[in-house]
Amino acid sequence: MGRLLGQGTFAKVYSARNILTNETVAIKVVCKDKVEEAGMMEQIKREISIMRLVRHPNVVDLKEVMATRGRIYFVMEYVKGGELFAKVAKGRLSEEVARKYFQQLISAIDYCHSRGVSHRDLKPENLLLDENENLKVTDFGLSALPEHLRHDGLLHTRCGTPAYVAPEVIRKKGYDGAKADIWSCGVILYVLISGFLPFQEESVMKMYQRMFKAEYKFPSWFPYEPSRLVAKLLVVDSRKRLTIQGIMRQPWFCKGFKPSLSPSIPTPNPNPTQVLDQEMLSKSSSSSPRFYNAFEFISAMSSGFDLSSLFESKRRVGSMFTSRSSASAIMAKIEGLAKKLNFQVSSKEFKLKMQGQSEGRKGRLAVAVEVFEVAAEVAVVEFSKCSGDTLEYVKFCKEDARPALKDIYVTR
């Protein structure tokens, strides 16, 4: 652990060094007691989940999470260049530099939205710069996931920084988190080029009044093309606001744009005989499924939030259900599902692995299934993602596996 880099109400951030790799990192140390007293433990868990979900070159990387009885430690990428806000505070940026940062911001936010994540607090203070002047989005504490949507498919929590928040968020009606982020991106682009806020007022209420009417002016020296883009982003009616895809088609945005590629994940070998996990097959053959310990069963099926998965370096997203069907009948049913979906299948005993043919966002989806015996005529079936995209795996479980297996499961 090294020097203190900064601190807030619930956490302190230190520089640190990995003694095995000599890599410099930043460690955010969160006090559990303070977080629990403020009722914000769910927000911390959400932030961990989201940062594990959004792996992108323009998003600060969460490397590891550790915990003691009183502290939670976020081990993160150390971004040396500081906040973009500090750079803008020294004066407005050139059009070319502003465009580079805006391109990287949009690339990161597009990726977040594709994961179902709305940031909801985009501002220059939450945009960091590395030693190569590349932008990194940080602070996902107020972010939202699809499960935070209400029955109307919208978000309803009022949050964000007043000067950057979209008008619909301030109103008490629901809003689309992705479209709210686009408004914030419009404010950021205006600030980068002008050096000041578009809706600057002494009182917050006056600022909101201007925001609700989109009343702002461009200085005479503001470049024409980016001003047209800002005008398409700062639109009060979110339905008419330009989309991320629309932004990426704008000629001004496209100049010199190099899409940031998300970290590559090795594509599983397409040969079904090689797809099957060797570790999964290493155990000796048996005519009956592996016995599922009662303690394992209770722990796995518990409705409580299990923090252990947040601290594993190789997290497996799992889902399970119980069945009164025989193990062989269950395996036959799952193999039938795999063949119907045109998945390649490898199986041995009561373990199966299936792999999709089509390329997803992170390569081809591969799913492992194992059947355990709990008691006579009671089995537990566990699904887990081996490779591919998490959201594609969740969709597979909800839309393909669950409906196809509904006649054999008793409960989740």
- List, for residues 389-411, the tens digit of each pLDDT value: 877 888 888 888 888 888 887 75
DSSP helix/strand/coil, 332: helix
Amino acid at residue number 370:
E
Do residues 193 and 327 share a domain?
no
Give the phi and the psi of residue 159 in degrees, each rounded to 5. -155, 170
Domain-located, residue 260 = no
Q: Is the pLDDT of residue 292 over 70?
A: no
Q: Is the pLDDT of residue 273 over 70?
A: no
Q: Is residue 404 within 8 Å of 396, Cβ to Cβ?
A: no
C-alpha to C-alpha distance for 324 and 379, rounded to whole angstroms: 6
CATH number of 14's domain: 3.30.200.20
The residue out of 77, 108, 129 marking a domain boundary is 77
The residue out of 192, 223, 254 marking a domain boundary is 254
**pLDDT value, residue 375:** 67
Active-site hit among 121, 176, 181, 389: 121
**Average of per-residue pLDDT across 354-375:** 82
Do residues 243 and 131 share a domain?
yes
| Least confident piece of the model among 204-218, 281-295, 353-367 | 281-295
Do residues 298 and 406 share a domain?
yes
C-alpha to C-alpha distance for 182 and 125, rounded to whole angstroms: 17
The pLDDT mean for the chain works out to: 83
Instruction: Fill in the DSSP letter of residue 350.
Output: T
**Average of per-residue pLDDT across 331-357:** 88
User: Percent of the chain having pLDDT more than 70?
Assistant: 84
* Domain membership of residue 295 as a residue range: 272-411
Do residues 106 and 163 share a domain?
yes
C-alpha to C-alpha distance for 141 and 74, rounded to whole angstroms: 13
| Least confident piece of the model among 11-20, 105-114, 275-284 | 275-284
Q: Is the pLDDT of residue 285 over 50?
A: no
C-alpha to C-alpha distance for 29 and 67, rounded to whole angstroms: 9
Residue in 96, 219, 237 with CA at minimum distance from that of residue 168: 237
**pLDDT value, residue 287:** 60
Domain-located, residue 262 = no
CATH number of 316's domain: 3.30.310.80
Most distant pair of Cα atoms in the chain: their distance:
80
Do residues 191 and 311 share a domain?
no
Do residues 89 and 73 share a domain?
no
C-alpha to C-alpha distance for 397 and 322, rounded to whole angstroms: 15
Amino acid at residue number 71:
R
- Please enumerate in sequence order all residues whose Cβ is within 8 A of that of 196, keeping only pairs 6 or more positions apart, or say none: none
Domain-located, residue 259 = no
Query: Which amino acids are annotated as binding site for ATP, given as ranges?
Result: 32
**pLDDT value, residue 44:** 87
User: How confident is residue 95, by pLDDT bands cut at 50, 70 and 90?
Assistant: very high
**pLDDT value, residue 278:** 41
C-alpha to C-alpha distance for 52 and 48, rounded to whole angstroms: 6
Do residues 68 and 99 share a domain?
no
Is 181 noted as a catalytic residue in this protein?
no
**pLDDT value, residue 304:** 37
Query: Which amino acids are annotated as binding site, given as ranges?
Result: 32
**pLDDT value, residue 279:** 36
User: How confident is residue 315, by pLDDT bands cut at 50, 70 and 90?
Assistant: very low
Highest mean pLDDT among 189-203, 255-269, 366-380: 189-203
Q: Residue 302 pairs with which residues in a beta bridge?
A: none
Do residues 276 and 402 share a domain?
yes
**Average of per-residue pLDDT across 286-309:** 49
Tally of structural domains, the chain: 3
**pLDDT value, residue 374:** 67
- Please enumerate in sequence order all residues whose Cβ is within 8 A of that of 43, keeping only pairs 6 or more positions apart, or say none: 141, 142
**pLDDT value, residue 263:** 53
The residue out of 55, 77, 99 marking a domain boundary is 77
User: How confident is residue 270, by pLDDT bands cut at 50, 70 and 90?
Assistant: very low
Do residues 297 and 231 share a domain?
no
Over 183-221, what HEC string results?
Answer: HHHHHHHHHHHHCCCCCCCCCHHHHHHHHHHCCCCCCCC
Q: Is the pLDDT of residue 249 over 90?
A: yes
| Least confident piece of the model among 11-20, 149-158, 290-299, 375-384 | 290-299
**C-alpha 370, offset from chain centre:** 28
**Average of per-residue pLDDT across 9-23:** 91
Helix ranges, 234-326 (H): 244-248, 251-254, 272-275, 278-281, 294-301
Do residues 112 and 174 share a domain?
yes
